[in-house]
Amino acid sequence: MGAVREYLLRLVAVCMLAALAAVLVRSSPASRIVRLIGGVLVLLVAVSPLLSIDTQQLSRRLEQICTEHSFDTSAVEENTRAALASHIKRTTETYIESKAASLGAAIQARVIVSDDEQPVPERVTVIGTLTAEQTLALRQYLTESLGIAPEKQEWKLYGISE
């Protein structure tokens, strides 16, 4: 705290001296030079603490602070991947149910996504009542549009609607 006080006192003293010198030579032709010299002196006193910084010590301290306050980025990545997988699961289920509705069927879709870094729909279970044509069209949609192989599609049909 004493160093800050001493710095501020030096800065104020130089400012006062520069202002006094500028007032004393106000009408003189040298007034511009006196003001320039006063400004340079104020600038030198203002930046003098920066010239005395121990950059190696500062670097070590910053490194220590970064080490003390670091966090595990893998947990953030895992949370992000889990949120993405959940979103893909819900969105895919909604797409499948919407496609079935456009075919005139009411179903419930349950999607399982892969555990890869980029989760994709891997398996689907379709529960509901569909006609043979609706089932075929939905099977084709799951295979061609979503890339879910027929062997990874499970169908739980409760009666075939006519």
The pLDDT tens digits for 78-113 are: 888 889 999 999 999 999 999 899 988 889 999 999
- pLDDT in the model for residue 24: 87
The most distant pair of C-alpha atoms in the chain lies apart, rounded to whole Å, by 108
Return the higher-pLDDT residue of 162 and 2.
Answer: 2
| Percent share of the chain, pLDDT over 70 | 95
Amino acid at position 50, single letter: L
C-alpha dihedral (53, 58, 59, 60), degrees to nearest 10: 140
Number of domains present in the structure of the chain = 2
What is the extent of the structural domain holding 35? 2-68
Residue 73 lies in a domain: no
Q: What is the pTM of this model?
A: 0.54
**pLDDT > 90? residue 124:** yes
Shared domain check, 7 and 64: yes
158 has a pLDDT exceeding 70? yes
Residue with tokens 């920066």: 50
Please check whether residue 76 lies inside any domain of the structure. no
Residues 46 and 92 in one domain: no
pLDDT in tens, 38-76: 899 989 888 888 777 777 888 888 778 777 776 566 777
Q: Is residue 74 part of a domain?
A: no
Q: Is 92 found in the same domain as 54?
A: no
137 pLDDT more than 60:
yes
Same domain? For 89 and 153 the reply is: yes
What mean pLDDT is reported for the chain?
86
